[in-house]
Amino acid sequence: MRYHSAGEVVDVDTELPWVNRLVVRALGAAGQTREPTRGAAEPTVRLRVEAGATAMPVRGLRLVTRGAWSDGTTTVLTNAGGSGFDLMVRGGETLEVVARYRPSRSLRAANLLLGTRFGLLAGQMLVHYPVLWRAGWQERVPLHASVLRAGSATPLFAGPGGVGKSTVLLNALDAGAVATADNLCCADRSRCFGVAEPLRTDAPGARTNRDRTSHGRVEVALSAREPVLEPDRLVVLERGPRTEVEHLPPDQAARSLIAGTYAAGELRRYWAFAATLALATGHGPAHPPIERIAAGYAERLPCLRVRVGDGDTISAADLCGLAV
């Protein structure tokens, strides 16, 4: 399986059919991604999930921190992120990740009981976090945001979880827009690369025969995914007593984008994952320069705050039609 995510080209090979299903679900409609017109054709990340359950060898590796050993080239993480997967990570021009499922009895039982939570966590550790870390080598940082193109406008949508970004995005896609992702992108100074993922929404019109996920939402295929877009405005979405749109000072827009990223559940375990690998290998930043990238977008682009009143809806077309 090959797909594009966060500006990286990823190959996945799994020996366990049930893990393959988890990977496919975590990617959403990544198979519908248009091929990039430029960039590496060869994979920059390779993930292999092995059926074996023996421990990864740590002889000759130094202890970096609890559950992590490394010699600077090869790093072993046990029970990565509490998922039950051990990972062997090898840096280089191509990031190589080997995974084995080795949970304790109690964790195995918990993962079976809490299948939805486990599926999301496994997707993060196997699919999303290694790719985000590799993207960090190229000075791209994770943002809890989505970029869509509707007509001549390309807004970058920011805001904390639960305010309705996915609903706005779903309505926009139904109206013919394209988007990088649902909630996560990886951004450099001017471009936002989508993270391959499904769209998760609690919108009343969502197709309810899809898989259910967290917070009562359902997963919907992101049917018009564009791997990279360059935004021309920054839109901060909020809930409020009434619907209103106003221009927003750059510092406030940047603060919302930064805080929403650090508060995102999808990235809650990423900071420790990336810091541990940075400490072990010397690759990538120990702390991604999210503040600098977010402030650059806010200072360069027109910024809007959109408050959506309870029970109201607002379409991306309405937002894109505003004079900025």
Cα separation, 144 vs 147, in Å, equals: 10
Query: For residue 2, how many other CB atoms are within 10 A of its CB?
Result: 10
- For the segment 189-212, the average pLDDT, to the nearest whole number, is 70
- For the segment 206-232, the average pLDDT, to the nearest whole number, is 68
Q: Are residues 155 and 250 in the same domain?
A: yes
Residue 36's domain comprises: 2-136
What Å distances lie between residue 192 and 13, 101, 169, 231, 293, CA to CA?
27, 33, 16, 8, 11
Answer yes or no: is pLDDT of 210 > 60.
no
- For the segment 252-269, the average pLDDT, to the nearest whole number, is 93
Domain boundary residue among 88, 120, 136?
Answer: 136
Both structure tokens of 236: 């901060």
Q: Are residues 111 and 189 in the same domain?
A: no
Cα separation, 305 vs 239, in Å, equals: 10
Answer yes or no: is pLDDT of 301 > 70.
yes
Answer yes or no: is pLDDT of 28 > 60.
yes
Q: What pLDDT sits at residue 135?
A: 95
Which has the higher per-residue pLDDT, 17 or 176? Answer: 17
Percent of the chain with pLDDT over 70: 85
- For the segment 251-265, the average pLDDT, to the nearest whole number, is 94
Q: Are residues 37 and 128 in the same domain?
A: yes
Provide CB contacts within 8 A for 52, sequence distance 6+.
100
Q: Tens digits of per-residue pLDDT, 42-75?
A: 899 999 999 999 999 999 999 999 999 999 999 9
Q: Is the dihedral of CA 308, 266, 177, 222 positive or negative?
A: negative
Q: Are residues 232 and 87 in the same domain?
A: no
Exposure of 205 by Cβ count < 10 A (0-12 exposed, 13-18 middle, 19+ buried)?
exposed
- For the segment 35-46, the average pLDDT, to the nearest whole number, is 66
Inter-residue contact 120 to 213 (CB < 8 Å): yes
Q: Are residues 127 and 168 in the same domain?
A: no
Q: Tens digits of per-residue pLDDT, 311-320?
A: 777 776 666 6
Domain boundary residue among 84, 103, 136?
Answer: 136
pLDDT grade, residue 104 (50/70/90)? very high
Q: Are residues 158 and 120 in the same domain?
A: no
pLDDT grade, residue 147 (50/70/90)? very high
CATH code of 286's domain: 3.40.50
Domain boundary residue among 136, 161, 181?
Answer: 136
Q: Are residues 90 and 157 in the same domain?
A: no
Q: Are residues 248 and 155 in the same domain?
A: yes
Q: Are residues 90 and 173 in the same domain?
A: no
Q: What pLDDT sits at residue 209?
A: 44
Q: Are residues 199 and 60 in the same domain?
A: no
The DSSP call for residue 58 is -
Q: Residue 222: name the closest of 121, 318, 150, 148 by CA.
A: 148
Q: Are residues 114 and 199 in the same domain?
A: no
Q: For 120-124, 197-201, 298-302, which range has the lowest pLDDT when averaged over its residues?
A: 197-201
Cα separation, 272 vs 282, in Å, equals: 15
Answer yes or no: is pLDDT of 254 > 70.
yes
Backbone angles phi, psi at 161, to 5 degrees: -65, 145
Both structure tokens of 211: 């898989």
Backbone angles phi, psi at 203, to 5 degrees: -60, 140
**What is the count of structural domains for the chain?**
2
Q: Are residues 149 and 288 in the same domain?
A: yes
Answer yes or no: is pLDDT of 322 > 70.
no
pLDDT grade, residue 201 (50/70/90)? low
Cα separation, 160 vs 148, in Å, equals: 17
pLDDT grade, residue 32 (50/70/90)? very low
The DSSP call for residue 68 is E
Q: For 19-23, 275-279, 292-296, 319-323, which range has the lowest pLDDT when averaged over its residues?
A: 319-323
Mean pLDDT of the chain: 85
Q: What pLDDT sits at residue 244?
A: 81
Query: For residue 297, how many other CB atoms are within 10 A of its CB?
Result: 24
- For the segment 100-118, the average pLDDT, to the nearest whole number, is 92
Which has the higher per-residue pLDDT, 222 or 87? Answer: 87
Inter-residue contact 29 to 38 (CB < 8 Å): no
